[in-house]
Amino acid sequence: MRKGLTIYGASYVALALINETVLYTADERLIRKASSLGVVRHVAEFTP
């Protein structure tokens, strides 16, 4: 991934992509950098 993500963040984003699911996080930097992938959202958007 050439998004400027840490290996930690990129791993979670990759898992979300592989599993075709959404990654909810409070990490605003991760959200900003991976927003174009469409799998990362802020935890405030989560609805059970």
Which residues are paired to 24 by β-bridges?
A: 41
Closest CA to 42 of 20, 14, 34: 34
Q: What is the pLDDT, as a whole number, of residue 40?
A: 97
Give me the pLDDT at residue 1, please.
52
Q: For the purposes of burial, counting CB atoms within 10 Å of the CB of 36, is it exposed (0-12), middle (13-18) or buried (19 or more)? A: exposed
Segments in the chain below pLDDT 70 = 1-2
pTM of the model: 0.86
Please tell me what DSSP assigns to residue 38.
Answer: T
Task: Please state, in angstroms and as integers, the Cα–Cα distance from residue 27 to each residue in 7, 41, following that order.
Answer: 14, 9
